[in-house]
Amino acid sequence: MGLFEKKEKKELPAMELPDFPSYEGGFSSNEASNIKQAVTNNEESPITDLDIPEPTEKKFEPIRVKDERFEKRKMPQEIKIPDFKSSTKPLRFDRPSEMPIFEEKPMERVMPVSNEKTLFVKIDQYNYAIETIHKVKSKLEEAKEILRNIEKVREQEDAELKLWQRDLEEIKNKVMNVDQSLFG
């Protein structure tokens, strides 16, 4: 169905980077030399060669914008709320004729678990315990199978012994018959 198929990635051709615009230095050669002289001069000597413009104070006046949202709106006239008549009869609720009676059972007390030690088991120990349990289970299955085999062998032996006992009884009876007929 294609739900989990890997989508083909289309590789786009590599784009060329644009050329950087040419940048002319922000200082003219005259200004650059003035800056070099100012830096190399002694810090105590005042700098007078530079043309530093003096700051001027400019006052800005706020612009007023006419907004319809803030224009005066007409307030609605008086709103009339309808009167609801209250009933003179008090509300009554029917009570059930019989309350269900619950049997009171004594609470069973559960012995609290001792909080002396919290049980923490290392993962290695847990895995070892799981492996040991699986080994014990397999040994028990082997023991059950061996017991079944022993029971089968015992049943076969019992059947064989019964056959031998029956054969011995037959031989005994025949010997008794021969003894009575010859000596009896």
pLDDT at 18: 75
pTM for the model stands at 0.30
Interval 93-144: pLDDT, tens: 666 666 666 677 776 766 665 656 666 778 888 899 999 999 999 999 999 9
Alpha helices in the chain (DSSP H): 29-40, 123-183
Residue 47: partners with Cβ closer than 8 Å, 6 or more residues away: 38, 41
Interval 37-74: pLDDT, tens: 777 765 555 555 556 666 666 666 666 666 666 566 66
